Amino acid sequence: MTIETERLRDRVAAELTRARDRTVLLTEAVDDGDLTRQHSPLMSPLVWDLAHVGNQEELWLVRDVGGREPVRQDIDELYDAFKHARRDRTALPLLNPAEARRYVAQVRAKALDVLDRARLDQGRRLVADGFAFGMIVQHEQQHDETMLATLQLRAGPPVLPAAPPPVPPVAVTGEVFVPGGPFTMGTDTEAWALDNERPAHRVEVPAFHIDRAAVTNASYAAFIDAGGYDDPRWWSAAGWDHRQAAGLVAPAHWQRDGDGWAATTFGRTAPVVPDEPVVHVCFHEASAYASWAGKRLPTEAEWEKAARFDPATGRSRRFPWGDEPPSPRHANVDQRHLRPAAAGAFPDGASPLGVHQLMGDVWEWTSTDFHGYPGFTAFPYREYSEVFFGPGYKVLRGGSFGTDGTAVRGTFRNWDYPIRRQIFSGFRCARDA
């Protein structure tokens, strides 16, 4: 066994532990009543998410990779995300909080034993480079972000610590020009990249302009004050229908505060910070704002080129700033702060073209429907992404303040219904050159 393999094993163990520490933090922050209550029909009860991450870990690591006997085969259907809609999960005979905690602890002990014995340097594709373990790490971190979004919908006093994001050392406004030409989109080399990020392929992108920073609260408030929600000129037909049916008048969690706006964030209500990115807007709201501003949303390929393309070398980076993983000086990720950081807060995280904060802060809506890349192959199961391909979902990029660094990179693709805004979603604008 090589030194590299042992280092990989240590890294996997550390990432599994870090993900579980975050899960514990989120689930221990509230009482059992909040764990079992459904805070929104859009979200599962927190206790379902807790047991679900354990069930996925059991299915893939304990049973598949390890070939071990099931821990709780009788609960597989309860925690199959495709069997029961989120709104119906409180009616299921779910494990109670104490049972769920015992279950995930039992699974984790067996998974770590499997890790100790797994041959990460050879064998089948599922195990090579620790992929199955990395998939489970990312899955748990993704559900941690989902649980964080559920806690944002929870009524009641604050339960999570909230260190403020850093103060921007520079002001970031305006837009940058992105020259036309090909770039490499997607990846063949990222060991833990998921199937919809593959394969790497060349994409020809015409020249365009893109905002240097995400659209801010102040800019979005100007759209509201100009009557943007009342003028169908700015909205697509589907968007206008949804705006009327849902009664949208402002981003989720906003309320009037004198002549301005306040927002409730994890139980704390305060005036919105003008230069922070707007958050909790759906695709239709983002698209309407862009039309009002004389712009549009970027395509997914434009977003990735702005984030990854280095014109000096012609190569695509892992992250806007380079190939090293995100640190506190690069991006607002890892739940260090409970809101987006103001434009210009992370100058070290800018892309070679001078676009800021493409990673973290807010998931950014693109205009692209979710689909597979040319040559896409589902792995290790169709239900991760392939079953969602089609015009019903729009792609979001870049992660949010609630996204973990292991679960986002320059190629990572998120997707959701265009009406969704309980997620930590914002946007930036683009325009043709």
Q: Is the pLDDT assigned to residue 398 strictly greater than 80? A: yes
Q: Is the pLDDT assigned to residue 427 strictly greater than 70? A: yes
Distance of alpha carbon 161 from alpha carbon 390, whole angstroms: 39
The pLDDT assigned to 3 comes to 82
pLDDT digits (tens, 9 = 90+) for 269-313: 999 999 999 999 999 999 999 999 999 999 999 999 999 999 999
The pLDDT assigned to 371 comes to 98
Residues paired with residue 182 on neighbouring β-strands, in sequence order? 204
The pLDDT assigned to 4 comes to 86
Q: Is the pLDDT assigned to residue 28 strictly greater than 90? A: yes
The domains of the chain, with CATH numbers, are 3-153 (1.20.120), 164-433 (3.90.1580.10)
Distance of alpha carbon 433 from alpha carbon 424, whole angstroms: 29
pLDDT digits (tens, 9 = 90+) for 310-366: 999 999 999 999 999 999 999 999 999 999 999 999 999 999 999 999 999 999 999
Burial 38-56 (b: 16+ CB within 10 A, else e): bbeeebbbbbbbbbbbbbb
- Contact of 61 with 114, CB cutoff 8 Å: yes
Among candidate residues 300, 161, 288, 303, the one with its CA nearest the CA of residue 226: 288
Mean pLDDT across the stretch 381-399? Answer: 97
CB proximity list for 73: less than 8 A, separation 6 or greater: none
Residues paired with residue 175 on neighbouring β-strands, in sequence order? 211
Q: Distances in Å between the alpha carbon of 164 and those of 151, 168, 169, 188, 275? A: 18, 12, 15, 37, 14
The pLDDT assigned to 122 comes to 67
Q: Distances in Å between the alpha carbon of 34 and those of 41, 67, 71, 159? A: 14, 36, 26, 11
Q: Is the pLDDT assigned to residue 1 strictly greater than 80? A: no
Task: Return mean pLDDT, the chain.
Answer: 96
pLDDT digits (tens, 9 = 90+) for 54-70: 999 999 999 999 999 99
Residue tagged 């260190």 (tokens): 163
Mean pLDDT across the stretch 140-159? Answer: 97
Rg from Cα positions in the chain: 21
Mean pLDDT across the stretch 237-255? Answer: 98
